Amino acid sequence: MSIETRLAELGIVLPEPAAPVAAYVPVVIAGGLAYVSGQVSFVDGTLRKGRLGADVSLEDGIEAAQGCGLMILAQLKAALGSLDRVERVVKLGAFVSSTPDFTDQPKVANGASELMVAVFGEAGKHARSAVGVPSLPLGVAVEVDAIVAVRPA
Predicted confidence (pLDDT) per residue in 46-71, tens digit: 999 999 999 999 999 999 999 999 99
Total structural domains in the chain? 1
pLDDT tens for 97-142 read: 999 999 999 999 999 999 999 999 999 999 999 999 999 999 999 9
Nearest by Cα to 130 from 55, 64, 35, 75: 64
pTM given for the model: 0.97
CATH of the domain at 31: 3.30.1330.40
- pLDDT of the residue at 42: 87
Residue 146: give the domain boundaries. Answer: 3-150
| Distance in angstroms (rounded) separating the CA atoms of residues 13 and 131 | 28
* Residue 20 confidence class, pLDDT cut points 50, 70, 90: very high
Q: Could you tell me how many helices (H) and strands (E) the chain has, helices first?
A: 3, 7
